[in-house]
Chain A
Amino acid sequence: MLILHCPYCGVMADETELHGGGEAHLTRHGPGSSDEDFHDYLFAKENPRGVHFERWRHVQGCGKWFHAARDTATLEVFGTYPAQTTEPPKAIRKAITAKRPGWTWRGFSDPAK
């Protein structure tokens, strides 16, 4: 069972309390964008074997959306953080670097670089 810390209400929430919302930090391309960008936004999701950033909702708790940084090959959780951001906070990126040196995910990587 996946257990994630809800950064809003502070609860360590079981997976059964949560709802996965897919890839985090999407740029929502809309009308006027190129076909490529619109397609990639809707369908070409990141699907890494390793470090991944995703959205979760604390449905059976406070009801709020937050973000999690996780390893899809080990189920290790590097940290969670509020959703009001367009990029993972430095502390989270550092925590990932400590365990997965050299990681990258879309445009993001080790904050020291």
Chain B
Amino acid sequence: MRRYSAFAIAREAARYHSGWGKAWSSPEPKKKYDVIIVGAGGHGLATAFYLGRNFGITNVAVIEKGWLGGGNTGRNTTIIRSNYLQDPSAAIYEKSRSLYETMSQDLNYNVMFSPRGVMMLAQTQAEVRGYLRTAQANALQGVSTRFIQPAEVKKLVPIINLDGPRYPVLGALWQDRAGTARHDAVAWGYARACSDMGMDIIQQCEVTAVRREGGRVVGVDTTKGAIDCDKLGIVVAGNSGVMAERAGFRLPIESVALQALVSEPIKPCMDVVVMANTVHGYMSQSDKGEMVIGGGADGFNNYTQRGSFHHIEETVRALVETFPMVSRLKMLRQWGGIVDMTGDRSPILSKTPVEGVFINGGWGTGGFKATPGSGWAMAELMAKGHSPLTDEFSMWRFKEGKFIDESVAAGVAH
């Protein structure tokens, strides 16, 4: 792999950019791998990356039915934060956030991590109490957050309207080390690093069945033929239920559409991320100047990667109340992704009823922030059979009543 650097840019500029080469190779599948990962989203690629980096397991294939990063990884609004309530969540999300800090260096790929700060507005008394509690919990977990007053909110976000007619801003939970990153670059950076370690990334190839012998995985059937493996990681987000069925078990996950939209680019007007959970909308400004906007998930099971228009209307209405100046903005694009929702709004990183098959899913509306931490933990789980970061996220926790309830912290989709 040729390293990217300022020197490389100068070198290539001098020869008309003729020497860059492909960032990753696209080989035909081999007959057998030690590990197959289904799904080349950020989480699947990060899992493969850390299998190689942390455990020296490089005879790995990542199999993707579409193009890599074309699922929720390329459809999300890129918010990265770790201000969750429960300890197991804080552990994995904070691990993840901290890995983002050095990701560009680790991958030699600019993922544009921008720790600009994330603000979650409190617009009801219940929310004030909720975020005060979260701030206390975060202090105990070693996650740096604090509750700020309306005056400080206004100072950080001059375009905000504090005295909204229905839901005035009463304060906010502020995490100054949170922020955003370039979602595609995260997938591309991992793909390049995995390819460099000798792993095969096989795109345009759907896994159609999981072959088992005596309760153990022995391989998969794909649209490019049968491939054997010793271990299988299912990392397919909205398609978790479909893949689990192909492997012969059921998951406590339901799939629904979540939408987002971006405006025309405008001059810099907001340099933090603002989330308004009560009125259901959140917004940040991309480096190109577009306002990146998201809201709540749609209300019924759906695999179509598009959502209902009235959800967009609700989101935009909420944001116009919160940021009156956006009322004149034209919207450029709108899209949907299929998110995998669990009952307690926390993910599943777990062994499964099939020996050798592992599942990583249920990240729902908020897994982009978790990409590196999830890959780190999943790789450990697959290599060693257990990881301190995944122990609490087993698929059987629901049966035992051991929920990791994040429905408050994740009251709105992000």
Contacts and interface: CB of A to CB of B under 8 A. Distances in A.
A20 B341 CA distance: 15
Contacts of A36: 399
Tell me which of B301, B309, B310 has the highest count of chain A C-beta atoms within 10 A of its own C-beta.
B301
A16 B311 CA distance: 10
A15 interface: yes
Interface string B240-279: 0110000000111111000000000000000000000000
A72 B301 contact: yes
B242 A49 contact: yes
A19 B300 CA distance: 9
A43 B398 contact: yes
A1 B257 CA distance: 13
A74 B304 CA distance: 7
Contacts of B398: 39, 42-43
B353 to A, nearest CB: 12
Interface residues of B, number: 21
Contact of A1 (B250, B251, B299, B308): B308
Tell me which of B242, B303, B310 has the highest count of chain A C-beta atoms within 10 A of its own C-beta.
B303
Contacts of A35: 399
B360 interface: no
B399 A39 contact: yes
B98 interface: no
A52 B310 contact: no
B343 interface: yes
Contacts of A54: 300-301
Contacts of A40: 250
A15 B300 CA distance: 10
A48 interface: yes
Nearest to A74: B304
A75 interface: yes
B242 A15 contact: no
Contacts, number: 57
B302 interface: yes
A28 interface: no
A73 interface: yes
A36 B353 CA distance: 14
A73 B304 contact: yes
B223 to A, nearest CB: 16
A16 B253 CA distance: 25
Contacts of B308: 1-2, 15
A47 B77 CA distance: 25
Interface in A15-49: 15-16, 19-20, 22, 35-36, 39-40, 42-45, 47-49
Nearest to B249: A44
Contacts of A45: 252, 254
A36 B398 CA distance: 11
Given A1-B310, A49-B239, A49-B242, A44 B252 contact: yes
Contact of B343 (A2, A16, A43): A43
Contacts of A52: 301
A111 to B, nearest CB: 23
Interface in A43-91: 43-45, 47-49, 52, 54, 72-75
A78 to B, nearest CB: 15
B241 A47 contact: yes
Nearest to B254: A47
Nearest to B343: A43
Interface string B336-351: 0000000100000000
A48 B239 CA distance: 9
A16 to B, nearest CB: 5
A19 B310 CA distance: 13
Contacts of B399: 35-36, 39, 43
Contacts of A74: 304
A75 B304 contact: yes
A44 B309 CA distance: 29
A22 B299 CA distance: 9
Contact of B241 (A15, A16, A48): A48
A73 B300 contact: no
Contacts of A49: 239, 241-242, 255, 303
19 contacts: A1-B308, A1-B309, A1-B310, A2-B300, A2-B308, A15-B308, A16-B310, A35-B399, A45-B254, A47-B241, A47-B251, A48-B242, A49-B239, A49-B241, A49-B242, A49-B255, A49-B303, A72-B301, A72-B302
Given A1-B310, A36-B399, A49-B242, 14 more contacts: A1-B308, A1-B309, A19-B299, A39-B398, A42-B343, A44-B251, A45-B252, A47-B251, A47-B253, A48-B242, A49-B303, A72-B301, A73-B303, A75-B302
7 tightest A-B contacts by CB? A47-B241, A43-B252, A39-B399, A20-B300, A43-B398, A20-B299, A44-B250
